[in-house]
Amino acid sequence: MTSSRRTRWHACALAGLLVAAAACGPARPNTSMAGASDAANRVYVAPGAKDEFYAFMSGGFSGQVSVYGLPSGRLLKVIPVFAQNPENGYGYNVETKALLNSSFGNIPWDDTHHPSLSQTDGAHDGRWLFINANNTPRFARIDLATFETVETIEVPNTGGNHGAPFVTENSEYLIGATRFSVPIPQADVAISDRASKFKGTISFVKANEAGKMDIAFQLLVPGIDYDLGRPGKGPSHGWAFFTSYNTEQAFTKLEVNASKNDYDYIAAVNWKALEACAAGGKARSWPARYAHNVMSHTTHQATTEFKTAVNVIDPKDCAGSIYYLPTPKSPHGVDIDPTGEYIVGGGKLATVIPVHSFSKMMKAIEEKAFEKDVEGIPVLAYAKVMAGEVQNPGLGPLHNEFDDKGCAYTSVFISSEIVKWCFSDFKVVDRVPTYYSIGHLMVPGGDTKKPYGKYVVAMNKITKDRYLGTGPELTQAGQLYDISGAKMKLLLDFPLIGEPHYAQAIDANLLKDKETKFFTLADNAHPWATKREQDAGISRQGKTVHVKMTAIRSHFAPDNIEGVQVGDTVLFHVTNLEQDWDVPHGFAAMGNWSDAELLVMPGQTRTLTWIPKYPGVYPFYCTDFCSALHQEMMGYVRVSPAGRAVALQANVPRPAAAPPAAGKR
């Protein structure tokens, strides 16, 4: 560390630990400081060549997931998850809308934070990506064959779903904890009664079968706030670990009032014990209302089932299911190393990185080395579970990921850097600045038993002076570092769709040959699918007009529609007849105030709801450039005043009459 850098640290510390700003990063970007001399070569992916990794970045308050290639940093796709997406009609069209259903109604937005790839035996298996909705607690499953959201489930008895979802070693469960304690079950109580009336939960959601997410059980926990978590692996498989903060149980001005205690806790939860307790009848069924939404790849429609009860386990009824490990000081992240032995806290306000030992924890439990208890939950003695403390980690250590050589990479927010240290002696061996104020970081496979150990990506909160200005809001950004050698080397800055909160990356070899290239038309079981042009048509049910429409290069059938009246609702059910990769068709109709466009994949059916306001003749057209005659792919719908006698008709092409059989002339 240079002396000027050290001086700046002290200035930041004096300015207040809690106030982080770009001013606390390096004064000016210095690309030579950490950059590799061959950086351009290392990240250059030649035209036509492919990236090594798919990186799935959370969209934060965009509600989505974005997919980037690494090492190039090229944006490949945005996957809509918890927010409507006009680009492809997700959450607007009839078929996908149900994926946003909840007990509060249809919610058009949420905040996605922690992508989590499915695992088998502690390593990525390329089946699914999961992500949380932070605001109205939900989990989503994204199918990695289609890169589409296929399932969502609401998590009841939870207030803020930040500490989620994290996948257990064989994708048995997604685990999640309540960030904000709340009355459980919800009730009208005074906020000042927080300490006595609020509780938390830790949820275990079955994840290992597509379409069958379900809340297996929830553990009722004391009403402090819980943050990030990780399941154990290897020897610690069967356990889950969550940080906690606000053991003060403050309910106003938390920035001061929740930062008083020297120690908060990492909660160690034995989910195998909880499974046994649930099987032994120790769970109680509590009334709860939550939605489970599933997309079918045959009907191409999402459906909702509302559930009415959830299994809740009180730790008093399940001895040995939870312990607290004292951890300094408002820890943010907790991460488990690839061996499963080390439980690494993110001290946030601490002067060290605390590392607990799983084997010592088990011994302390056996010896009942308890300091005290919190509402009956034993608090283990800090000295008995501590494996080591990493000294001089920088200001504000948050999160850790791991390489394949026994070392950890810690993101440090206030001093804006990545710190590398190793388990052999818990000593810092390298540090590089990030521009600026890193939150999460990600090593491909860095939370698994088998990290790739080649790159680390910093997800930064502030990009002042790194990019061309774009008004009051600047781009969000990532930085890619080479970690293959002893020293980290900065390779690339790349802008990201905000907020890139956390990311996970998977080896492209696990996905590239399993893509769904199109949906088989013959398998399309959508009730309004049209598989041949001559089966297209129009029908009226009261004030609702159904148009069965096909799209194929380069026309719609029908393309002239009459007999619609003001006061009608028109449902355009558009089936894309193409059976070829990368030939979607779009559909949009003028004056469409209640819906977005449709983007219909080959073999798929999607429905746009169109409610005409005024008489006239309105064009519709294909929005996705599909062929040389894409401009010609359009049609008209005539709208008449209510009550005018215009026959309902659509110009559906009929097949040419078959030639008469011989002998019948």
Q: Residues in the site for Cu ion, rule: CB under 5 A?
A: 585, 622, 626, 633
Nearest-approach distance from CB 602 to Cu ion, in angstroms: 11
Distance CA 272, CA 231 (A): 12
CB 456 within 8 A of CB 443: yes
Those residues with Cβ within 8 angstroms of residue 194's Cβ, 6 or more apart along the chain or in another chain: 181, 223, 249, 251
Min dist. Cβ of residue 554 to Cu ion (A): 6
Give me the least distance between CB of 620 and Cu ion, in Å please: 12
**DSSP secondary structure letter of residue 454:** S
Q: To which residue do tokens 């709208």 refer? A: 639
**Residue 517: C-alpha distances to residues 162, 178, 243, 520 (Å):** 34, 39, 42, 9
Q: Which is nearer to Cu ion, 78 or 626 (CB)?
A: 626
Three-state DSSP class for residue 141? strand
Q: Which is nearer to Cu ion, 385 or 622 (CB)?
A: 622
Kindly list the distances between the CA atom of residue 421 and the CA atoms of 389, 395, 408, in Å, as whole numbers in the listed order.
11, 15, 5
Q: How far apart are CA 417 and CA 411, in angstroms?
A: 6
For Cu ion, the closer CB: 124 or 585? 585
- Least separation in angstroms between residue 536's CB and Cu ion is 16
Three-state SS letters, 195-264: HHHEEEEEEEEECCCCCCCEEEEEEEEECCEEEEEEECCHHHCCEEEEEEECCCCCCCCHHHHCCCCCCE
CB of 552 to Cu ion, least distance (A): 8
CB closer to Cu ion out of 12 and 626: 626
Q: State the nearest-atom distance from the C-beta of 450 to Cu ion, in Å.
A: 43
C-beta of 93 vs 136, nearer to Cu ion:
93
Nearer to Cu ion by Cβ, of 197 and 630: the residue is 630
CB 578 to Cu ion: min, Å = 9
The answer to whether 648 and 540 have CB atoms below 8 angstroms apart is yes
**Nearest to Cu ion of 201, 623 (CB atom):** 623
Among residues 400, 448, 458, the alpha carbon closest in space to that of 428 is found at 400
Nearer of residues 117 and 577 to Cu ion, judged by Cβ:
577
DSSP string, 613-652: -SSEEEEEE--S--STTGGG-EEEEEEE-TT-----EE-P
- Give the nearest distance from C-beta 627 to Cu ion in angstroms: 6
Q: Which residue has the tokens 């769970």?
A: 283
